[in-house]
Structure 1
Amino acid sequence: MGLLDKIQSLIGKKKTEEGDSGAAAVPKSKQTKGSNSLDVEARFERMRSAVSGTMSNFITARDRQYNRVVGLKLCDAEKVATFEARFKGLKKPIEGAIAVQMQHPNVVETYEYGTTKQGQPYLVMEYVDGPGLLQVIQTRKEETLAGKRLSLIRQMAEGMKYVHEKGFIHRDICPRNFICSSDMDRIKLIDFGLTVPALPPYMQPGNRTGTPLYMAPEIVRRRQTDQRVDVFAFGVSIYTLCAFEFPWPVNDTTGKAALQHDTHPPIPILQFRPDLNPVLATAIMRCISPNVQDRMPSMEAFLRQIKGVRSELKSPA
């Protein structure tokens, strides 16, 4: 289970009403660059135990300064520095600088970023009371998703389309990086820790970052990349959302798992879900084409292809 799926909620949008008369009002304009010496304990009241990941800890907390519940991300300074060193000389924006640019209903809002007194990079994000998409998929409860999938898929695509239009490649699209509302009506993309600008210097072969089960073959094969690596990962993600299965046998979750993405043809999704709308099924399979030239070219193209789809299920004969 992924980091964000170990807890039922972490980041999304839930703004609390003013409670304390002495609490500071939430600013109308978003604060972006925060403190370079944040005192975490003084400003935040921890509401849940920290959840540890590879490069960061996530905490659900109350921000005393603005009297609101937030998601607080505390990064491992050494690991972040190691990742950023790959792009030395390219003036790559750090995660916080990328995240605060995102203003879209299907992308988590980042209020502020900076550095703690201990030298840790931090981000303060909105909070949503709902499960991670990976958690939803792993429970395999059809009743939770019935009638919801098509809307969720469109929202995921809209959020990704926005990120791409802002000029970035997310590089880690997978179910654990989407958070749902508790009623499963809304979904948001999160985590820009591996995100890079969609510019030639950042798309050269060799940057093998991402989650192997969702990784496009051109990444693991060390070929040129572009935003279509996100399209591929999106395709695998929504395949699992619809089928509760992967397009390939899962025998490994390391980098070796991605090697079969261009050596074995993906299993047609209709084998698992013969009741799926054929237009949607075709669009999903096109997203996971191992050949970049045959793949869905963009999130906008995906949204166009499913524009006329009214139900995730095929029409009765």
Structure 2
Amino acid sequence: MESSSDFQGLLATLLEAVERGEKIDRERLLREHPQYAESLCQFVDNDQFLRAGVQSSKPEEGASGSHSIDPMATIDPLLTLDSQDESRASSESRWSYGQLTAASFPVEFGDYSLLCEIDRGGMGIVYKAQHNTLRRIVALKVLRSGELSNPEELARFRAEAEATAGIEHPNIVSIFEVGEVRGLVFFTMAFVDGENLSTIVRRERMLAKEAARIVSRVADAVGAAHQRGIIHRDLKPSNLLLDAMGEPHLIDFGLAKTGANASLTCAGQILGTPAYMAPEQARGTDVTPACDVYALGGVLYELVSGEAPFIGPTPVDILLQVLNREAPSARTVNKQVPRALDRIINRAMQKKPEERYESAIALQQDLQRFILGEPIERSHSSLWERAEVWWRREPVLVSHLVGIFFVLCVVIVSILIRGTSLYASRWILGLLTLWGVCSFPIQKLSVYKRFRELVYFAWLSIDVVIYTTLIFMATPPRGLLLIGYPMMIAASGLFYRSRFVVFVTGISILGFIGLWASVDDPFKERLEFGVIYASGLIVLAICLLAMIRRIRGLVDYFAGGENIRGEE
């Protein structure tokens, strides 16, 4: 993937070419730099629009054969005029979506007047519009790529309209018309005067029963889609509009999977928004109605907790969590979430599809039971399955507890072999107990994203300090106990952050140097032992950093291509 400096150099080259009066070959640009397609198109559009405006401000020249310049003549428009429309060119504005501002509206678009822009998504731009003949307000969605769209984008756009039109449900926005205006494909749908749930939940969390009511209605709508063989694949709060009456409306079937468009999805292609993806969808494998059930659980989770089930700085970070971890319990994030609703969320978001609700309708029915105060269906899970869920949900905490448990076992075995009294070892046992108990409140604090990174650094520091103290207090020989430092460095890789690995390696080496200087132990007899040991810690850290860098390198792959969609 090209760096930001390469991109800046590319823009500088384009500017120089424009200054020399050269024509910019869009197709070649997009072919050579697909990862910057949208930015490059907007740059070219905006530059041409600005130059057209400057030219239009020049005074008309006299009767010397010159002519006035059409303000839009130099723009490479998205709307291509047919020969029969040329007579109307002077009365109709030719425009590009990248050039429209608040001052541009209203804009005539076929039989519609575009009044304002509502939203921009992965494939299209949605405008509030008025049908000039019927005098009806609608939402009009135009394919965002315009004339640069490829056949797959056009097919997906048309498939979205067909999928939405094929479902009749009061909580799914109705499609009115699908058409094309001078090369721009569009469709119109019912205009919902309201906000999307993502905007609402950013202001405040919803009450449990209100959130359950909304998701219950959406689950019923999703169930109706499933009965028509349509899987939405991108259910999230921003794709749910809440009208003035508090009714939710499901929109954006741009990534919907139907029998007609199944060929648009390749094996291994990841479509959707990572935070709400089911694990099998994140792997790019089988996508079934169970994926939508999982996403409904994720939407309900965010409505009651105030944050998405998984949070990370990049899509890849989130995908790794989706694949390998359980989301923190919604009740952990917000204590006001009733236990019954928390169980519904947990069941809907199970990693294995067969352990979720068997359908969106089954989820809807359980939500209705919760709203009415009736007992919900309980899923039966074994003790081993519960332990597995706990491990995926709290891998760092479980790793700590398991490590502390083994250290405690080693200490107890050592006491028994040497015949030392428990009273003499009370400080070591007490410190181990304190170490284990402290892990729980630290884990609770790490749930809150504003404290998370600081808590992790503090946690790692406490681990190394306590372990170094335990080694200091232990009876010689202590050499075998030094195995704890590489174990802690390896465990720091669970965070998938290079800075954590470097931090733990650094303080582990400092702890080892402190022990070397302060204790009298046989491992100090040969200096080369200390050098080899410290070098081993560094080599382990370098190996971990290389693995993390390789994983993080997936960010380049996903950002450079278009395998993750639907994040807007």
Task: State the distance in 2 between where 1:102 and 1:79 align.
Answer: 27
Structure 2 equivalent of residue 62 of structure 1: 130
Do structure 1's residue 138 and structure 2's residue 138 form an aligned pair?
no
Q: Tell me which residue corresponds to 2:151.
A: 81
Q: Which has the higher contact order (CA 8 A, sep 6+)?
A: 1
Matched with 1:16 is none
126-135 or 273-282, larger mean C-alpha shift: 273-282
How many Å separate the matches in 2 of 1:42 and 1:82? 25
Answer with 264-273 or 193-202: which moved more. 193-202
- 1:19-61 Cα offsets, whole Å, 9 max, x none, are xxxxxxxxxxxxxxxxxx9x95242222213643331111001
Which residue does 1:288 correspond to in 2?
349
Residue 189 of structure 1 corresponds to which residue in structure 2?
250
What's the CA shift for 1:274?
3.0
Post-superposition offset of 1:169: 0.7
* TM-score normalised to structure 1 length: 0.75
What does 1:44-55 correspond to in 2, within 5 Å?
44-49=112-117, 51-55=119-123
- For structure 1, which runs of at least 5 residues remain unmatched after alignment? 1-36
Residue number in structure 1 paired with 2:95: none
Structure 2 contact 208–341 (Cα < 8 Å) conserved: no
**C-alpha spacing 1:255/1:122, structure 2 compared with 1 (3 Å):** farther
Going from structure 1 to structure 2, the CA distance change for 1:62 and 1:274 (only over 3 Å counts) comes to same
SS of 1:260's equivalent in the other structure is helix
The separation in 2 between residues aligned to 1:152 and 1:235, in whole angstroms, is 12
| Amino acid in the other structure paired with 1:276 | V
The 5-angstrom pairing of residues 294-313 of structure 1 reads 294-310=355-371
> What are the residue-to-residue correspondences of 1:242-281 with 2, within 5 Å?
242-248=304-310, 250-281=311-342
SS at match of 2:117: coil
Helix, strand or coil: the match of 1:69? strand
Match of 1:236 in 2: 298
Q: Which has the higher Rg, Structure 1 or Structure 2? A: 2
Tell me, in whole angstroms, the C-alpha distance in 2 between the residues paired with 1:282 and 1:269. 9
CA pair 253-176 structure 1, distance change in 2 beyond 3 A: farther
Distance 1:178 1:302 in 2: 18
Quote the Cα distance in structure 2 between the aligned partners of 1:57 and 1:186: 24
Q: Secondary structure at the match of 1:151?
A: helix
Give the alignment partner of residue 175 of structure 2, picking from 90, 99, 110. 110
How many residue pairs align between the two structures? 268
Amino acid at match of 1:284: I
Q: Deviations over 1:137-175 (max 9, x none)?
A: 111255xx5753222121111111111111111111111
CA contact (8 A) 2:198 2:238 kept: yes
Aligned positions of 1:88-167 closer than 5 A: 94-117=159-182, 119-140=183-204, 142=206, 148-167=210-229
Deviation at 1:98, TM superposition (A): 1.6
Identity over aligned pairs, percent: 24
CA distance in 2, matches of 1:50, 1:278: 38
SS in structure 2 at match of 1:309: helix
SS of residue paired to 2:188 = strand
Letter in 1 for 2:140: L
- Structure with more of its chain in helix, by fraction: 2
RMSD: 2.9
Greater strand share, structure number: 1
Three-state SS of the structure 2 residue aligned to 1:48 is: strand
Other structure's SS at 1:197 match: coil
Is 1:72 aligned to 2:140, yes or no?
yes
Cα offset, 1:220, TM superposition: 2.2
1:137 is aligned with what amino acid? V
What runs of 5+ residues in structure 2 fail to find an aligned partner? 1-81, 83-91, 93-107, 376-568
CA contact (8 A) 1:56 1:74 kept: yes
Shift of 1:71: 0.2
Q: Which residue of 2 aligns with 1:168?
A: 230
Given the two structures, how large is their TM-score scaled by the length of structure 2? 0.43
